[in-house]
Structure 1
Amino acid sequence: MPDKVDELVSKYKTNDPIKLIKYLDCGLFYDFLGYDTLGITAFTYGESTVIISNVLSEPEQQFVAAHELGHVVSGVKESTKFLRRNNFGLNIPKLEADANRFAFKLLMYNLDKDEPIMKYKILDYYDLPYSMERFMEPQSIMY
């Protein structure tokens, strides 16, 4: 799925997941989903709708939007289970792992590839657990 990131950024000239969701004519809503549910992607009648928890910080919402966008462009047109805080562990479905990889590639797209980046700073910025580092591409990331 990483090639989808290149296609989207090239076509729409942005790596902002919120803008990309809108450009792709997906529904986008913010609502209270509880404190453990971060986001949902629903597919009904050929339409995609992304719902993001309204209790998240802006950086968290950006990550969740990127993750849910990964589901939208994956080609799998079935509603996904809720992205929950406890879905960041080691045993997650391939569909969720792919969406996480997509999200990191999208959000890190415009970073200077020649300047090393501390992976934990990125994870801290998006308020993600350090176990999520396994979904980041190794290039330009300092361990």
Structure 2
Amino acid sequence: MFIVGINENEYKSDLNIVSNASCTTNCLAPLAKVIHVKFSIVEGLMTTIHSITATQKTIDGPSMKDWRGGRAASFNIIPSSTGAAKAVGKVLLALNGKLTEMAFCVSTVDVSVADESQAVTEVLTAIQTKFPHFQP
């Protein structure tokens, strides 16, 4: 898996299959890299919001995974799942296992939002200095 600005220099021409990762991973990984390099991320939470997608059966059948994702998708905010946090950990090995993600599908035609919150060493150290009993 390759993301421009993260690990594209690791590409080798003899690879048979190449993945450019998901749109969510491409959105979050560069931001996570910059923050990690500057502040050293300890843990992070990502939230993504997507419009209705082509994988949701909005017309001809119910979603077997989650019925909210079928015909009523255009009337719901649907908690969903995504592998973007794991994918970021695969391209940024220093963040592997440090990120958690929430995902939602919303009733709009075209939108995508990504939000990232993290605990960074610099901030945690400052809090622990001021409040010695604080445990993250």
* TM tier, smaller: under 0.3
Greater radius of gyration (CA): 2
Q: Which has the higher contact order (CA 8 A, sep 6+)?
A: 2
TM-score by length of 1: 0.26
TM-score normalized by the length of structure 2 = 0.27
